[in-house]
């Protein structure tokens, strides 16, 4: 897979391909920043809670740049042997098209995110 930006978002480990990250900032994301785990089909306040974040990573998406609140962002190298695509059944259950796989980074599993698949603002 190559170089990724590994981070915590709403308390969950995730990773973006480094080529999709436009910038990283020292402050939290704006209130309208993207939420990776929110399920628009559910009315669950816990799923929408962004959680504490000390940083903001801006990523390139199909709908333009989006801010992602996070903590502990860092660059990591990931071998292809340590990346697994999500099974089709799990993809259907999650209903999060931007979550495309799992990767082992430093002994911990991270959700692999494809920022190009993030829903547009307000979607």
Domain annotation covers residue 41: no
Tell me what pLDDT residue 38 has.
62
Is 66 a member of any domain? yes
Domain membership flag for residue 35: no
Asked whether residue 109 is domain-assigned, the answer is yes
Is 38 a member of any domain?
Answer: no
Q: Give me the number of domains the chain comprises.
A: 1
Q: Which domain holds residue 61?
A: 2-29+54-117
pLDDT digits (tens, 9 = 90+) for 14-71: 999 999 999 988 877 666 677 787 644 444 444 444 456 688 899 998 888 999 989 8
Give me the count of residues in the chain.
123
Give percent of the chain above pLDDT 70. 79
Rg (CA), the chain: 14
Token reading at 97: 């098209």
Asked, for residue 47, whether it belongs to a domain, the answer is: no
Residue 46 lies in a domain: no
- In order, the DSSP letters of 79-98 are -GGGEEEPPHHHHHHH--TT
Whether 49 maps to a domain, the answer reads no
């Amino acid at each position: 897979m190559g170089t990724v930006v590994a981070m915590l978002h709403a308390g969950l480990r995730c990773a973006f391909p480094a080529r999709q990250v436009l910038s990283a900032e020292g402050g939290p994301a704006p209130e309208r920043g993207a939420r990776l785990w929110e399920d628009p089909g559910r009315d669950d306040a816990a799923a929408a809670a962004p959680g504490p974040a000390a940083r903001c990573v801006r990523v390139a998406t199909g709908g333009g740049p989006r801010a992602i609140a996070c903590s502990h962002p860092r660059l990591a190298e990931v071998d292809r042997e340590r990346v697994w695509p999500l099974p089709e059944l799990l993809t259907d259950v999650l209903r999060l098209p931007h979550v495309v796989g799992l990767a082992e980074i430093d002994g911990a599993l991270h959700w692999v995110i494809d920022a190009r698949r993030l829903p547009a603002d307000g979607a």
